[in-house]
Amino acid sequence: MPRPLEEIDADIATFQAAYDKLLLGTRPQGLKHGDREIQFGSNFSATEKALKQRLHTLTVERARLTGDPLPHRPYSPRGMVG
């Protein structure tokens, strides 16, 4: 049986707050100047990676429950193939 939507939303809020708190003390990962963008090397910590993965999992769980499009995927109504 799927979890209630309120429980999923509460988990998303909790993990998002932890992720935001973690990012407050980190250095920027990129620089924008006009129309150019320079990305620095990836410096993900294990904690940051775990939080991002859990947030993504919760977002997918919420999308499947509500019927919203999955994150990072084009919209496709259920039942359509292709």
Burial of residue 58, with CB atoms counted within 10 A of its CB: 0-12 exposed, 13-18 middle, 19 or more buried: buried
What are the tokens at 75? 């919209």
Listed by start position, the domains of the chain span 5-21+31-65
Residues in contact with 32: Cβ distance below 8 Å, sequence separation at least 6, in sequence order:
38
pTM above 0.85, yes or no: no
How do the pLDDT tens digits run along the chain, 82 residues long?
789 999 999 999 999 999 888 877 666 666 777 777 776 655 667 888 899 999 999 999 999 899 887 877 665 566 554 4
